[in-house]
């Protein structure tokens, strides 16, 4: 299994509080991704990173920010959590740009279940 | 924005039956992947297809990429309870840093 860990695995917080989720990898992969998964919506990309300090927005980036100061860590921050951000958050890594070719693969972490009350 | 539509959304069958799930788009993708996700875990890659018309087999699973590279199908022969899970397709394009996921098909195989 690819070495990806997410912390915390579960979190309950209140509306308006800041929340930071951490993704840590031991594979030295260049590309890292944050997705959210909600019933009926599959996986939706929030932000991704193509290198240290290099990040870009995904399709649902409003209300989220990210940082990558080291190859191995990718942080997702909710500056002021809202109930609509209750979801399961997955981090993923890949060696090449996603789906760049036949041998590329995204490896996913175990997920973080976030509940915003 | 490139969209991928999966159908059916839910599928419940008996052990031993065959099934096909579909992944369709109006956009062309340079490659398409199928993932399987079990409850409480992250998705795991099953296959990547990159050539229009390509067919790949993985034991009882057969994957096909449409000739125009806009759609794909996953066929399972003689389904088993261990096949139960969420099946996701994901499309991407060369030089793009991100991919697009479909909404998934939840498969339940009853013993």
How far apart CA B86 and CA B40 sit, in angstroms, is 11
How far apart CA A92 and CA B93 sit, in angstroms, is 18
Contact A99 B95 (CB under 8 A): no
Task: Identify the band that residue B58 occupies on the pLDDT scale cut at 50, 70 and 90.
Answer: very high
Task: Identify the band that residue A101 occupies on the pLDDT scale cut at 50, 70 and 90.
Answer: low
> Is the pLDDT confidence value at A49 over 90?
yes
Task: Identify the band that residue B40 occupies on the pLDDT scale cut at 50, 70 and 90.
Answer: confident
CB B46 within 8 A of CB B35: yes
Most confident of A48-57, A66-75, B24-33: A66-75
Mutation site, A10, A98, A104, A105, interface B, largest B CB count within 10 A:
A98
Mean pLDDT of A29-46: 90
Mean pLDDT of B12-41: 93
Name residue, tokens 């996913």.
A108
Q: Give the pLDDT score at A105.
A: 81
> Is the pLDDT confidence value at B67 over 60?
yes
Residue B10, exposed/middle/buried by CB under 10 A (0-12, 13-18, 19+)? exposed
Please list the helix, strand and coil fractions of chain A in percent, rounded to the nearest 5, in that order: 5, 55, 40
Number of A/B CB contacts below 8 angstroms equals: 84
Residue-wise pLDDT for A5-19, tens only, equals 999 999 999 999 999
Mutation site, B31, B42, B52, B54, interface A, largest A CB count within 10 A:
B42
How far apart CA B60 and CA B77 sit, in angstroms, is 5
Chain B contacts in chain A segment 79-98 (CB below 8 A): 90, 92, 97-98
């Amino acid at each position: 299994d690819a070495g990806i860990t997410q912390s915390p695995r579960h979190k309950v917080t209140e509306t308006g509080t800041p929340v930071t989720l951490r993704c840590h990898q031991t594979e030295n992969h260049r590309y890292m991704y944050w997705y959210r998964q909600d019933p009926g919506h599959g996986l939706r990309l929030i932000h991704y990173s193509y290198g240290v300090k290099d990040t870009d927005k995904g399709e649902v980036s409003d209300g989220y920010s990210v940082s990558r100061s080291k190859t191995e860590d990718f942080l997702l921050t909710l500056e002021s959590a809202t109930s609509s951000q209750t979801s399961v958050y997955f981090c993923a890594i890949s060696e090449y740009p996603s789906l760049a070719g036949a041998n590329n693969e995204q490896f996913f972490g175990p997920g973080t279940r976030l509940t915003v009350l | 924005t490139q969209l991928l539509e999966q159908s059916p959304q839910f599928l419940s069958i008996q052990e031993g039956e065959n099934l096909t799930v579909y992944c369709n788009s109006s956009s062309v993708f340079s490659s398409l992947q199928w993932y399987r996700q079990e409850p409480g875990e992250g998705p795991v890659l099953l296959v990547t297809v990159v050539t229009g018309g390509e067919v790949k087999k993985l034991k009882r699973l057969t994957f096909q990429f449409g000739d125009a590279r806009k759609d794909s199908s996953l066929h399972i022969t003689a389904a088993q309870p261990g096949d139960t899970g969420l099946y996701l397709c994901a499309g991407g394009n060369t030089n793009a840093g991100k991919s697009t996921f479909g909404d998934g098909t939840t498969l339940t195989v009853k013993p």
